[in-house]
A = this chain, B = another copy of it.
């Protein structure tokens, strides 16, 4: 199931020869961050993740240097939060082309600084090199307060699916950049660290929406050999995102299906835990968004165009790599799939 997706297959191929560390608690794909226990008697452990921002810059999606700095922190701490850990710090390697001026670079650093402060964390190290393109790579460290971490595996039929917030803002932001919609979408995602401290107590299965809402659900589905029924999907889409899609003459479901996420967390809660979970969420003034429930039949089912339809996630998730960065081609293929859904 996992290998139907180009990205999963590429990761498996790149790592095929590598031995696993006996101290690592997760297999490949199984967690948003790597979970490493220490080979001493301390019983200590760490969550660690690495993530680069490259295509987002070269494609023009992230134009604002402040946003670029902000994002390299948030994408990495979002993985730490999805693993149920608290940030310890981040290291950032920057490939800086010679043509960038001092002011531009300062705005990147301001974005980094504000983002780590927002996460009550620290830049603990870094590296700089020159290159043709601006590329940032972050490596974030985190720790769970006990020894429990969240993985992507662990949901079962009947569990309820929640997210930390509404979806679609990431793809709406991409629409305003690439389709030149008149809407403005504020896009400064925040890693859901506070919410993660509640989720980790009640959930066994969590992922962030870095690759978009439905892709994240699809990855959970493939890992857990289950399916998801999404109730009333329009109610879980961000209102400003819906406006942006409408103005660009794009169907709203694309906001969930596109590959650019908003860094919410999607997680499952068992029926038994739901009441306590919601009370605990309320105590930090957080109102989780109920998405639907887990089923034993594989597939992601949404009520689109007045009937329950199982979305062809294999095709949708492989579209970005098949389109090879050609956004027009990507949109056209999406619209073709939309016409099939409408039949």
Chain A interface (Cβ < 8 Å from any Cβ of B): 10-11, 14-21, 23-24, 33-34, 36, 38-40, 42-44, 46, 48-55, 58, 88-89, 91-95, 98, 105, 109-110, 112-113, 116-117, 121-133, 135, 137, 139, 141, 143, 145, 324
Select which of B21, B58, B113 is within 8 A of A89 by beta carbon. Answer: B21
7 contacts between A and B (CB under 8 A): A14-B109, A21-B89, A21-B122, A24-B124, A34-B89, A52-B129, A132-B133
User: Main secondary structure on chain A at its contact with chain B?
Assistant: mixed
- Report B-chain residues with C-beta under 8 Å of the C-beta of A36: 88-89, 124, 141
Q: What CA separation (Å) do A139 and B89 show in the bound complex?
A: 13
Q: What CA separation (Å) do A33 and B42 show in the bound complex?
A: 22
Copies of this chain held together in the complex: 2
- Structural contact, B17 and A49, CB atoms closer than 8 A: no
A266: min CB distance to chain B, Å: 20
Please give 9 more A-B residue pairs, beta carbons under 8 A apart, in addition to A14-B109, A18-B123: A19-B122, A38-B88, A40-B143, A44-B44, A50-B93, A52-B137, A54-B131, A58-B132, A93-B139
Q: What CA separation (Å) do A98 and B326 show in the bound complex?
A: 14
Q: What CA separation (Å) do A93 and B34 show in the bound complex?
A: 14
Give the 3 A-B CB pairs with smallest separation, nearest first.
A139-B139, A44-B44, A21-B122
A33 and chain B: residue at smallest CB distance? B125
A53: min CB distance to chain B, Å: 8
- Structural contact, A54 and B113, CB atoms closer than 8 A: no
Select which of B33, B91, B135 is within 8 A of A50 by beta carbon. Answer: B91
- Report B-chain residues with C-beta under 8 Å of the C-beta of A125: 33-34, 48-50
Q: What CA separation (Å) do A2 and B129 show in the bound complex?
A: 19
